[in-house]
Amino acid sequence: MPMRSQSVRTRRPPTASRPEPLPRSESSTRAEASRPHRRSSQRSTTGAAQSPRHPPSDVPAPAAEEPHDRAAANAAAADHYAQRPSKHRYRTVIPAPSGNYAFIKTIGQGSMGKVKLARKEGTNELVACKIIDRVSPDDGRLSREERERADAAREDRNAREAAIVSLLNHQYICGLRDNLRTRWHWYMLFEYVNGGQMLDYIISHGKLKEKQARKFARQIASAVDYCHRNSIVHRDLKIENILISKTGDIKIIDFGLSNLFSPDEDRKLKTYCGSLYFAAPELLQARPYTGPEVDVWSFGVVLFVLVCGKVPFDDQYMPALHQKIKKGEVDYPNWLSSECKHLISRMLVTDPKQRATMHEVMNHPWMLKGYNGPPENFLPHREPLKLPLDEEVIAHMTGFKFGPPEYIREELTKKITSPKYQAAVRRLEKEREQPQPNPQGTEKRRGFGFDFYKRRNSITSKETLTNGSSDGLPIGDDPLNAFDPMISVYYLVREKFERERQEAQAAQPAVPPKVQQVPPSSPQQAQAPPPVPPSPIARHKEKHSLAEIVPPQPAHTENSRTRHRARSHSEDQVREPVQNGLLSPDMVPTKKGGNGPVSLLRRLSTRDRRKEPSDGKTISLQKSVSKRAKSLGHARRESIQARRARREAEARDQPQTPHTPHQEPPLREETDAELGLEGEGEGGETSGGSNERLEPEDPDLAKPVYLKGIFSVSTTSTKPLSEIRADIKRVLKMLGVDYTEIKGGFSCTHAPSIAEEERYHSPSRGEERVADGEIRFEVLIVKVPIVSLHGVQFKRLGGDTWQYKATAEQIVRKLRL
């Protein structure tokens, strides 16, 4: 796709002052030992051109190697590609442990690097490959020592992101399929979420109806609570990090700033990171924090954006914005329901000790409205840990800088034999003997997965505002969840092994899955967790294991990791000055004056045409829309009925069928159709019903036509395609947006004027500021199924989020659809 080149995105490893080699995994060590990448690197630095299509002869053929050698070869081959001139670097195949992936196109640009759509060779399987540079550019801004320090910190972050996402298993969290580290890059292959960003959804809709927002909010809560109860804090929850899947459900992405947290007062986190609009006041004040409370704040901001279409704290002048966040004063629109307002106001409490916990959020009346109980967090059933520990699990607790296996074993042993842990276990046992009724009627899991996911349904008086969990036990008192980060990782690794074991079993169709009825013969077996049903992600993914984090470790190996790392402190144990911290770029004051980027969000909130009677054009638009919405609603009702009938027929046919990897996940929040949301729109939520079935797998055609509710009145039209295209061109020209016509739409680049740019600021993180005043996005024209409408959709590819949002909204406003 023709695009203007951007300096940051095409930066290449420095040649003259290349830093010393970084600590690296066995794969890259072996890769270097085999030297092919060195040769290729030398070649590329001397400018020798390589054919982008034909791998050179010095790249070992992965398929012919033994597993360990294959991993080394993979790394070497990927390095080789990475060393090519940037023009060709990504147009090729990445030899990941689970197979070769060919890049198709760029689908995203974050501060950490590009995200490319890739297809697994010989299959239709698509992945989103996040490519992260391991080495800072030598652009003269930093000394060699500073760059080395920055690279080491970045390396830790990347390793942690890979480790965390490879362990998480949740239907509303984007799953990692595979992972490859080379000399210069990390390649993280995620499941491809093809419904677009929530941000685009909001651009199309303005604000969401509370019912629709509730559905998303419950899914976010489910994912966030799952993380917290695994001792993981996301720390970068924002509207851009919420994608929408083809089923219209959310997927949280970008765990690049996530970390483990501990409930201990003396182990608070001290890295001040995230996006300014979504950052909790304590982060701006550089106050140590436990973890979950900063996610609750960000979640509150996200919820506000969902229901209001703008951010709650907004100022063009950064210091003023800081002040607003620190004061926590929010102007709630009067049309917001009092319950919704109450919930947000509980989440946006400046004092973290007084702020709502996830438990409170999940049990808030607004969250429960129309549901049987709080959102399910999909935590697997767990039993307290006992000795002896599983050595293989310990050997795979890598990526968190815990130290060598023997140290981990020693620490875990201390932790689970400690009086504190034992007391927590006794409390749990007592509670299980006398289960308390669940006053909220906690939502039961539907379907046959329930046995695997038994939850304790107790909400006890012990819950506190600061550290409650959704099951009621305060974080730190619950021996099963978030008691201690090392214990949480032990559970997660063990559960991952269990999933892999089940997937391996499922892959052998001749052998029916065994139900273990025999009494355990070893203490280890005695405490092995019950089988966990494969996740929706796992259902589709290739068999892979933690070996992906440490590529030379083949899946299901008995071998422990042999290379021991010295124990070191995490970045959070060292206080970072705010200006050097990850948040700092967000906080750089910009000049006062003009209409700031944030005002776009303000403007967005006024996109409810009915409330703008002064705009004659919008009134007539509204009129024509209600007609259109009606017909869409009708079409949708039919579609819902058809789906319901189909589901009922399926249920009649197979009432007792156990869960198999090929079935729909039984445990999930309701879809739009199930909630009856599809017909709810008043012009806003207009879309086809069961659209996801129409989704083509071909990435060229994979325009988000299947999305429920993606199009609003202002982004759909009954006009012929040629007229819509002409109108878009007119508007792009009028606004000075550079565009190229591409299949299905326009690829656009927009660089605001300097005066305009000064008003904007980048919410990117760390020293790797991406926004250089230029935004890249696509305007796509898609056919809305069922009814003969065309829809216009926006997709951000890179650049500042809020600049993009402003531009997209401007385009929408100027269009005459």
By annotation, the residues acting in catalysis are: 236
What are the C-alpha distances in Å from 111 to residues 154, 353, 774, 801?
12, 32, 14, 11
Nearer of residues 192 and 304 to ligand ATP, judged by Cβ: 192
DSSP letters, 251-274, are EE---TT-EE--S-GGG-B----S
Question: Is residue 108 involved in binding ligand ATP (CB under 6 A)?
Answer: yes
Question: Is residue 115 involved in binding ligand ATP (CB under 6 A)?
Answer: yes
Which long-range contacts does 331-340 make (Cβ < 8 Å, 24+ apart)? Answer: 333/308, 333/605, 336/210, 336/307, 336/308, 337/210, 337/366, 339/364, 339/365, 339/366, 339/369, 340/210, 340/213, 340/303, 340/307, 340/366
Question: Is residue 111 involved in binding ligand ATP (CB under 6 A)?
Answer: yes
Closest separation between CB of residue 181 and ligand ATP, Å? 16
Q: For residue 747, with 0-12 CB atoms within 10 Å meaning exposed, 13-18 middle and 19 or more buried, which class applies? A: buried
Closest separation between CB of residue 167 and ligand ATP, Å? 17
Question: Is residue 590 involved in binding ligand ATP (CB under 6 A)?
Answer: no
Q: How many chain residues are in contact with ligand ATP, going by CB under 6 A?
A: 23
How many other CB atoms sit within 10 Å of the CB of residue 440? 15
Interface region with ligand ATP, contact rule CB under 6 A, candidates 81-89, 92-100, 251-259, 661-669: 251-259
Which structure tokens are listed for 565? 């790392």
Interface region with ligand ATP, contact rule CB under 6 A, candidates 16-24, 30-38, 103-111, 590-598: 103-111
Nearer of residues 540 and 592 to ligand ATP, judged by Cβ: 540
Dist. CA 485–CA 483, nearest whole Å: 7
Nearer of residues 493 and 797 to ligand ATP, judged by Cβ: 797
Question: Is residue 794 involved in binding ligand ATP (CB under 6 A)?
Answer: no
Closest separation between CB of residue 119 and ligand ATP, Å? 13
Closest separation between CB of residue 241 and ligand ATP, Å? 6
Nearer of residues 125 and 360 to ligand ATP, judged by Cβ: 125
How many other CB atoms sit within 10 Å of the CB of residue 492? 22
Kindly give the residue spans of alpha helices, DSSP state H, lying in 138-193.
Answer: 144-167
Question: Is residue 536 involved in binding ligand ATP (CB under 6 A)?
Answer: no
Question: Is residue 171 involved in binding ligand ATP (CB under 6 A)?
Answer: no
Nearer of residues 194 and 470 to ligand ATP, judged by Cβ: 194
Site for ligand ATP in 252-271 (CB under 6 A): 253-254, 256
Which strands make up the sheet holding 176-181, listed edge to edge?
Answer: 93-96, 99-110, 113-120, 126-133, 185-191, 176-181
Give exposure, 575-603, as e/b (b: 16+ Cβ within 10 Å).
ebeeeebbbbbbbeebeeeeebbbbbbeb
Which long-range contacts does 431-439 make (Cβ < 8 Å, 24+ apart)? Answer: 431/456, 431/458, 431/460, 432/456, 436/460, 438/373
SS3 104: strand
Nearer of residues 179 and 764 to ligand ATP, judged by Cβ: 764
Nearer of residues 471 and 778 to ligand ATP, judged by Cβ: 778
Residue from the set 74, 166, 169, 241 that interacts with ligand ATP by CB under 6 A: 241
Dist. CA 289–CA 548, nearest whole Å: 32
Question: Is residue 130 involved in binding ligand ATP (CB under 6 A)?
Answer: yes
Question: Is residue 771 involved in binding ligand ATP (CB under 6 A)?
Answer: no
Dist. CA 478–CA 481, nearest whole Å: 6
Closest separation between CB of residue 802 and ligand ATP, Å? 12
630 is an annotated ligand-binding site residue: no
Closest separation between CB of residue 449 and ligand ATP, Å? 24
SS3 431: helix
Question: Is residue 767 involved in binding ligand ATP (CB under 6 A)?
Answer: no
493 in Cβ contact with 393 (< 8 Å): yes
Give residues with Cβ within 8 angstroms of 615, minimum separation 6: 609
Residue from the set 535, 764, 793, 807 that interacts with ligand ATP by CB under 6 A: 764
Residue 166's closest CA among 513, 555, 533? 555
Nearer of residues 244 and 349 to ligand ATP, judged by Cβ: 244
272 in Cβ contact with 581 (< 8 Å): yes
Question: Is residue 799 involved in binding ligand ATP (CB under 6 A)?
Answer: no
Cα end-to-end distance, the chain, whole Å: 26
What are the C-alpha distances in Å from 766 to residues 164, 242, 315, 572, 580?
20, 21, 22, 15, 7
Site for ligand ATP in 444-483 (CB under 6 A): none
Residue 108's closest CA among 267, 243, 278? 243
Half-sphere exposure of 778 (CA within 13 A, CB side): 23
Closest separation between CB of residue 586 and ligand ATP, Å? 11
Interface region with ligand ATP, contact rule CB under 6 A, candidates 249-257, 301-309, 587-595, 720-728: 249-257
Nearer of residues 469 and 793 to ligand ATP, judged by Cβ: 793
Question: Is residue 428 involved in binding ligand ATP (CB under 6 A)?
Answer: no
Residue listed under structure tokens 């997209």: 808
Nearer of residues 113 and 704 to ligand ATP, judged by Cβ: 113
Closest separation between CB of residue 358 and ligand ATP, Å? 23
Question: Is residue 790 involved in binding ligand ATP (CB under 6 A)?
Answer: no
Closest separation between CB of residue 671 and ligand ATP, Å? 20
Question: Is residue 385 involved in binding ligand ATP (CB under 6 A)?
Answer: no
Question: Is residue 671 involved in binding ligand ATP (CB under 6 A)?
Answer: no
Dist. CA 280–CA 295, nearest whole Å: 8
Interface region with ligand ATP, contact rule CB under 6 A, candidates 237-245, 378-386, 583-591, 742-750: 237-245
- x/- binding map, residues 177-216, to ligand ATP, per CB under 6 A? -------------xxxx---x-------------------
- Please state whether the peptide bond connecting residue 388 to the residue before it is cis, i.e. omega within 30 degrees of 0: yes
Closest separation between CB of residue 549 and ligand ATP, Å? 17
Residue from the set 118, 128, 343, 547 that interacts with ligand ATP by CB under 6 A: 128
Give exposure, 621-655, as e/b (b: 16+ Cβ within 10 Å).
bbeebeebbeebbebbeebbeebeeeeeeeeeeee
3-state helix, strand and coil shares in percent for the chain, rounded to the nearest 5: 40, 10, 45
Backbone angles phi, psi at 119, to 5 degrees: -120, 135
Residue from the set 71, 76, 82, 112 that interacts with ligand ATP by CB under 6 A: 112
DSSP state of 734: H
Residue listed under structure tokens 């981990």: 408
Interface region with ligand ATP, contact rule CB under 6 A, candidates 149-157, 248-256, 584-592, 640-648: 248-256
Which structure tokens are listed for 121? 């060779």
Residue from the set 36, 97, 110, 281 that interacts with ligand ATP by CB under 6 A: 110
Nearer of residues 203 and 487 to ligand ATP, judged by Cβ: 203
Residue from the set 107, 321, 475, 812 that interacts with ligand ATP by CB under 6 A: 107
Closest separation between CB of residue 74 and ligand ATP, Å? 21
Question: Is residue 297 involved in binding ligand ATP (CB under 6 A)?
Answer: no
Residues annotated within a binding site for ATP: 130
Residues annotated within a binding site: 130
Which residues make up the interface to ligand ATP (CB under 6 A)? Answer: 107-108, 110-113, 115, 128, 130, 174, 190-193, 197, 240-241, 243, 253-254, 256, 764-765
